[in-house]
Amino acid sequence: MNAERGPGPVAWAHRLLIVTALVAAIVYVLWELRQYARDGQDGSLVAAGVGTAAVVAIGMYLRRLRTLRARLTPRG
């Protein structure tokens, strides 16, 4: 049997979950900014800032996943 070596479907599922988290974080930031525009409460602006930091961190992690297949495939 000639099975493909490497990360397999787990890498695809992981990437899908990370993209989902990224989209959810972006929606959260937009929601908090809308709340701030509506109410003017500083707490919403702080939450939007924290959410933006999460978006940046998740985006950086997603970029790092581009080389996941090469790192998980055994050599030889």
Model pLDDT for residues 38-72, shown as the tens digit of each residue? 999 999 999 999 999 999 999 999 998 877 767 77
Question: Does the pLDDT value for residue 18 go beyond 70?
Answer: yes
Q: Which residue has the higher pLDDT, 4 or 66?
A: 66
End-to-end CA gap in the chain: 17
Q: Is residue 1 pLDDT above 60, yes or no? A: no
- What's the chain's average pLDDT? 87
pLDDT at position 4: 61
* Closest by CA position to 7, among listed 64, 62, 69: 69
Spell out the domain ranges in the chain.
11-67
Judge if pTM exceeds 0.85.
no
